[in-house]
A and B are shown apart, each in its own frame.
Chain A
């Protein structure tokens, strides 16, 4: 994605236009006989200069980032703890977990996700994610070349790269995942 110096509203308009174009493109594609192609539904969101996504089935909720209690002496990637449906969840910095360096604006959203081991946790995020469908075949093909928790998927419609996060792998890496990169 190219970086420009547009204001936030203009950027949002542009993103909406892109989203609508993608939908239209997908609908057009279906009429061309690709309706049988299985798709992976993902929740897509920005992280710094890049676009990331998690499988929609792992996403439990998107919450405003508030009422998070900091936990002094915890690991650097731990933002704090919060209450979610009577449970205590950890809020984690996704950028720190992925070894990233930052974001364009301070995260305002927490994504409650299933870690893959039955437990839930919350990941910070700059904006509410958007639903997106990725061709399962492309995802599987890309995954065969990757050992880490992030798979790069090239969208044929707009040549944009989506970094698909494999949550079980991300959390299985444990401490090794932190500060990587």
Chain B
């Protein structure tokens, strides 16, 4: 017997067993009509028969016998269709486990050392309820439960059929064994090809611009021939570009189909686990799955499987109440667990919710104190979300005893570690008495996804197209502008409007002006109209994960590399639709500073210094941007670079001093030029202070800021 055939059989049997498991869980359910039940019974019998025939064809008599016993047990139940009694489901599931364990052992070449299955089979049969009981008492006098072994003829037929299917697999599509890194490397090359294709598009635009320059009146005649050649070359390159795009798409699709598999392949066994665990604990629970067809990187799936097992065990053990307790609380006796899988751009969202008792923060706080994870003082200063977060700490458990399921303090910390090792995040929300929801977001590294690029002020950001419902322009008719909020009348529903620039802390919040583009973004059942300054366009982009230093900024899910090497930050739709107070009013009680500098590094450093000194800091990259911010915001001090391209520091100071609203704001000019002339020019323009970069380096910035503020205050 070829070992490869046995290995193939084992993997095929695993799939069939998964289907049988799902059928058994279905048969156990209440509420299915006779017709539906009958269909499931028929399918189940067919699957068991396939298992028996395939095993026999390979000479695996032990497996064939097990499948035969399972068929025997099922037979009386098919005569009088009704939901399958739980003990019978237990017995059949146990039989399947036995089958799979032995199939696995055969596949690994350990078949010879397996114990005789007779004892296990006898136990299995002994565990089964009598046929008449299993069939609800109506099967009395029906066919004997233990039918004779199948005759040689049908066995041989089944065997030849299975052998043929195995042979087909062996010769027709044997496949290759490829290391994951080889496939990943190939995908990286495809991603580079896509970026190269994008650069090609930009180069073509450059050529078109050059041709346009040659159409100036005085150049028209002498360049006619050259322009004709360029036009022809451009058309040729454009056509090649389209072909390259098709090739890239096809390569990417091909590689994705190799590297991914549907989420359902890990979810179906989880449904069985939930059922078994809740039975073991005397509870009733059912797992429903939404979005199981989403296909994911196989390696990611393997890692997620462990996290899902932990979360589900945790939900059944801690979340779902006993049936009588649930009924007393006005809930259905069967607990509902829902797993929702959604892909948004390069982000995978897994949401596991239960309708159990929820997280009791008082109990969590007390347990954390008892286990020494926090002190009583720390606990008293924590708000609810922080207390809930304690469940992810190593060593945390609310159990005082150790059971098979929990109490060892190992679980959610392992889940968080696993999710973080995938560069993902895990969050929990819970309402006492109503349930708990865990949300995992994990970046998916491979492949491209469509992105809509938008602009706010002078920053461009991307939005995963999957989250973009539509785009429209703001009009007086479709907006409802209130004192506290603005809403958009969208298909008869009022959708909150938020300004992207304000959400990013780049400017003060204001209602959209007429004609301003509004992007309707949806995520997790919520909608938001995002006001942007311009819609740039949409493109298929490779979204890469963000580095550790910015991974925790909730606004972004990644960054895409554009044609000239610059990066486009991709917004996280969940963040866009979340309710939030605009960043600009985050700390109304603190002193506010505006840093105006065209150097990114200088802005970053001044911000760090001032925030360390207790200031709320806003940034502007030019004098013009500073003036824009000053139209809607007030500041206690402005720190401004002297040498800027668009409008230099002295010009900005002069402008500030000429306007009544900004005349009194203290301004400090900062310059790399330490000369007396520069200092004198700055101060005579109306600046309150002047610091050289050297003086800043010596730590004078904060003291100078406080000094000029106090001098202005005294004068006022």
Contact = CB atoms under 8 A, between A and B. Distances in A.
B369 interface: no
Interface of B is mostly: mixed
Interface residues of A, number: 46
Contact of A79 (B544, B600, B609, B698): B600
A72 B367 CA distance: 38
Nearest to A179: B612
B403 interface: no
B567 A88 contact: yes
A115 B545 CA distance: 17
Contacts of B564: 67
Contacts of B440: none
Interface string A91-102: 111011000111
Interface stretch (A36-44, A104-112, A161-169): A104-112
A101 B674 contact: no
Contacts, number: 144
A51 interface: no
A87 B547 CA distance: 9
B693 A106 contact: yes
A18 interface: no
A49 B698 contact: yes
A73 B555 contact: yes
B674 A5 contact: yes
Given A72-B505, A78-B549, A101-B698, A86 B568 contact: no
A56 B568 CA distance: 31
A71 B550 contact: yes
A3 interface: yes
Interface in B580-623: 583, 599-602, 604-605, 607-609, 611-612, 617
Nearest to A107: B601
A65 interface: yes
Contacts of A115: 548
A123 to B, nearest CB: 10
Contact of B547 (A65, A95, A121): A121
Contacts of B192: 86
A57 to B, nearest CB: 21
B251 interface: no
A95 B559 CA distance: 26
A69 B568 contact: yes
A82 to B, nearest CB: 7
B601 A106 contact: yes
B693 A88 contact: no
A83 B565 contact: yes
Contacts of A90: 546-550
A70 B505 contact: no
B506 interface: yes
Interface of A is mostly: loop
B565 A67 contact: yes
Given A83-B561, A103-B697, A105-B672, A71 B556 contact: yes
A21 to B, nearest CB: 25
Nearest to B551: A90
B459 interface: yes
B403 to A, nearest CB: 36
Contacts of B569: 69, 71, 81
A119 B548 contact: yes
Interface in A55-83: 65, 67-83
Contact of B549 (A68, A82, A86, A121): A121
Given A83-B566, A86-B192, A179-B608, A75 B694 contact: no
Given A69-B559, A76-B607, A104-B697, A81 B550 contact: yes
Contacts of A48: 694, 697-698
B131 to A, nearest CB: 62
A78 B550 contact: yes
Contacts of B674: 5
Nearest to A125: B601
A110 to B, nearest CB: 9
B572 to A, nearest CB: 11
B699 interface: yes
Nearest first, the 3 A-B pairs at minimum CB distance are: A48-B697, A102-B696, A96-B608
Interface of B: 188, 192, 459, 504-506, 544-550, 553, 555-556, 558-559, 561, 564-569, 583, 599-602, 604-605, 607-609, 611-612, 617, 672, 674, 693-694, 696-701
Interface of A: 3, 5, 48-49, 65, 67-83, 86-93, 95-96, 100-107, 115, 119, 121, 124, 178-179
7 contacts: A48-B697, A67-B565, A71-B550, A83-B561, A87-B547, A102-B701, A179-B611
Given A72-B506, A107-B599, 10 more contacts: A48-B697, A49-B698, A65-B601, A75-B550, A79-B604, A83-B566, A102-B697, A103-B696, A103-B697, A115-B548
